Amino acid sequence: TEKMLQDRQKLASIGQIAAGIAHEVKNPLTSVKGFLQLLKETNAHPYLFTMESELEKAIDTLQNLLQVSKPNLHDEPIIEIDVCKELNSLMLLFQDKLYNIKIIMDIRDCDKHIFGKKNLYLKAFFNLMKNAIEAMPSQGILRIEHYFQDEYVHVKISDTGVGIPKEKMNLLGTPFFSSKTDGTGLGLTQVFTTINDHNGQISVHSVVNQGTTFHLKLPQLPSRCKATSRCVD
Ligand code: ADP
Ligand code: MG
């Protein structure tokens, strides 16, 4: 099953409400976490460690929510990005932690750099790699491709994992859609938002029990951002 995924609209309304709530809730939680850390120093009760890691999960979710719902408020400059270099660094980050996953890098046309918000792009690549790895709980192959074609830098992240059932394809990118027990359902929302904000394209090809490929087409210059140095519509 294959599908083009371009859906800014559904993010807009829910995103604005969510960002407001996320901001309000994150501050008190962060403060609780700080006091918990102090408590841990005098009292090493095991519940405190559980409380801390649960709090961290909640704060992380809120942080992600803030990032996906207000990407344009992240006043990041548009800079030149060497995508090959960044993909390599991300790969090294994962490689150390993976014993049963083989990583294949198929990296070409590295002289073709792109312009964009680097941290948003890095987070998007990271989110796709993380999903790919999580789709292969026992073993598999993570393939990372980079090449230049038809005026676009293409990045493909493929796994040989569980795949995505056809009826779930439409839900990809919807905030909070997750099939994982401990998922946030915000990773792909961040990916779609970032690619859209840079005038890129994203498509997914998936076969259940065989694997999934996310295919990104990134323009060298995000035209909408060019004039103002900001990705505002
Ligand atoms: P999360 O990873 O927290 O569940 P995401 O937004 O990153 O949230 O992904 C949403 C859902 O999309 C996942 O729960 C999973 O069902 C599906 N998905 C995303 N990437 C893959 C993949 N590479 N293989 C299989 N399913 C995937
Ligand atoms: Mg994810």
- pLDDT tens digits along 6-41: 454 555 566 667 777 888 899 999 999 999 999 999
Closest of 225, 108, 104 to residue 155, by C-alpha? 108
In terms of pLDDT, which residue wins out, 196 or 154? 154
Ligand 1 atom nearest to CA at 157: 23
> Ligand 2 centre and the CA of 185: distance in Å?
6
Atom 7, ligand 1: residue with shortest CA distance: 187
Ligand 1 neighbours, Cβ below 6 Å, are: 127, 131-132, 135, 159, 161-164, 172, 177-180, 183-189, 212
Per-residue DSSP letter, 171: G
> Ligand 2 centre and the CA of 118: distance in Å?
19
Q: pTM for the full model? A: 0.81
Mean pLDDT of all residues in 118-144 = 95
Query: What per-residue confidence (pLDDT) applies to 153?
Result: 98
Q: What is the pLDDT of residues 149-173, one digit of tens each?
A: 999 999 999 999 999 999 999 999 8
Ligand 2 ion: Cβ-proximal residues, 5 Å cutoff: 131, 187
Neighbour count for residue 104 (Cβ, 10 Å): 11
Q: What is the pLDDT of residues 55-89, one digit of tens each?
A: 999 998 888 878 776 655 557 889 999 999 999 99
Q: Which ligand is nearest to the CA of 185?
A: 1
Question: Which of 93-97, 144-148, 179-183 has the lowest average pLDDT?
Answer: 93-97
Atom 8, ligand 1: residue with shortest CA distance: 185
Query: What per-residue confidence (pLDDT) applies to 63?
Result: 84
Length of the chain: 233
